[in-house]
A and B are shown apart, each in its own frame.
Chain A
Amino acid sequence: MSATGIGGRVSQFGSAVAEGWTRERFGLIGAVALVLITFGPPFQVYLFTDFLVVALFALGFNLLYGYTGLLSFGHGLFYAGGAYGIAIVLRDLGPIIADIVGAGISPLVTFVVGGVVGLVLVVVVAVPVGWLSVRLEEIYFALITLAFGMLGYSLIIQDPAGLTNGTDGVIVLLGTVDLGGTSIRIGGRRLYYVISAVTVVAATYGVWRVVNSPFGTVCKAIRESPDRAGALGINVRHHRWMTFIISAAIVGIAGVLRAGLASVASPGLTHWSTSAIAVIATVIGGATYFYGPIVGAFIFLYIRWAISRFPTLEAYWELFFGVLLIAVVLFFKQGAVGGLYLLRDRLFGEGDIGGANGGGGGAFDAGSQVTTPPDEEAKSSNGDVRTDRGDNS
Chain B
Amino acid sequence: MTTVLKAEDLRKQFGELTAVDNVSIEIDDGNITSIIGPNGAGKTTFYNLLTGVLQPTTGSIWLRSGVEDDLADVTDAEPHQVAQAGLSRSYQITNIFEGLTVRENVRVARISHEGTRLDFRSRATGDESVEADVEELLDLTGLTHIADTPCDTLSHGEKRTVEIALALAIEPNVFLMDEPTAGMNPTEVAEIVSLIRELDADLDTTFVVTEHNMDVVTDISDRIVVLAEGAILADGTPEDVLTDERVTEAYLGSDSA
Which A residues contact B (CB, under 8 angstroms)? 209-210, 212-218, 220-221, 223-225, 227-236, 239, 242, 246, 288, 357-359, 368-372, 377, 379-382, 384-386, 388-393
Contacts and interface: CB of A to CB of B under 8 A. Distances in A.
Interface of B: 51, 53, 78-80, 83-84, 88-89, 91-93, 95-101, 104-105, 107-109, 111-113, 116-125, 127, 145-146, 148-150, 152-158, 166-167, 169-170, 179, 182-185, 212
Given A214-B111, A221-B108, A389-B183, A234 B117 contact: yes
A213 B124 contact: yes
B153 A212 contact: no
A227 B82 CA distance: 13
Given A213-B121, A225-B95, A234-B80, 11 more contacts: A210-B120, A212-B124, A227-B53, A228-B166, A231-B89, A235-B117, A359-B101, A371-B99, A381-B146, A385-B155, A389-B183
Contacts of B80: 230-236
Question: Which has the most chain B C-beta neighbours within 10 Å: A229, A233, A379?
Answer: A233
A109 B101 CA distance: 47
B51 A370 contact: no
B256 to A, nearest CB: 24
A333 B123 CA distance: 29
A381 B120 contact: no
A216 B104 CA distance: 11
Contacts of B156: 386, 388-390
A35 to B, nearest CB: 28
29 contacts: A209-B121, A213-B119, A213-B120, A213-B123, A220-B104, A223-B99, A224-B100, A227-B95, A229-B112, A230-B78, A230-B83, A231-B51, A231-B79, A231-B83, A231-B167, A232-B80, A232-B112, A232-B170, A233-B84, A359-B101, A368-B99, A380-B149, A381-B149, A382-B145, A385-B153, A386-B155, A386-B156, A386-B157, A390-B182
Given A220-B99, A388-B156, A232 B83 contact: yes
Contacts, number: 166
Contacts of A370: 99
A225 B185 contact: no
B234 to A, nearest CB: 23
Question: Which has the most chain A C-beta neighbours within 10 Å: B78, B88, B108, B113?
Answer: B108
Given A228-B95, A359-B101, A217 B107 contact: yes
A33 to B, nearest CB: 27
A214 B79 contact: no
Contacts of A228: 91, 95-97, 166
Nearest to A361: B148
A374 to B, nearest CB: 12
B124 A225 contact: no
B109 A232 contact: yes
Question: Which has the most chain A C-beta neighbours within 10 Å: B80, B84, B89, B116?
Answer: B80
B97 A357 contact: no
Contacts of B145: 382
A391 B155 CA distance: 13
A179 to B, nearest CB: 36
B93 A391 contact: yes
A368 B212 CA distance: 36
Contacts of B51: 231
A392 B212 contact: yes
A390 B184 contact: yes
A358 B124 CA distance: 15
B97 A214 contact: no
Contact of A233 (B127, B170, B183): B170
Contact of A392 (B111, B118, B123, B183): B183
Contact of A232 (B100, B118, B121, B169): B169
Contacts of B127: 214
B151 to A, nearest CB: 9
Contacts of B100: 220-221, 224
Given A384-B155, A388-B185, A389-B156, A230 B97 contact: no
Question: Which has the most chain B C-beta neighbours within 10 Å: A230, A359, A377, A388?
Answer: A230
B185 A233 contact: no
Given A385-B153, A393-B93, A234 B120 contact: no
A377 B153 contact: yes
Given A381-B146, A392-B179, A392-B183, A230 B120 contact: no
A371 B152 contact: yes
Nearest to B148: A359
A246 B157 CA distance: 38
Contacts of A218: 108, 111-112, 117
A392 B212 CA distance: 10
A372 B153 contact: yes
Nearest to A242: B118
B153 A381 contact: yes
B73 to A, nearest CB: 18
Contacts of A391: 93, 182-183
A214 B122 contact: yes
A333 to B, nearest CB: 13
B2 to A, nearest CB: 22
A218 B105 CA distance: 10
The 8 A-B pairs at the shortest CB distance, nearest first, are namely A390-B183, A392-B182, A215-B120, A233-B83, A224-B97, A380-B153, A221-B108, A230-B79
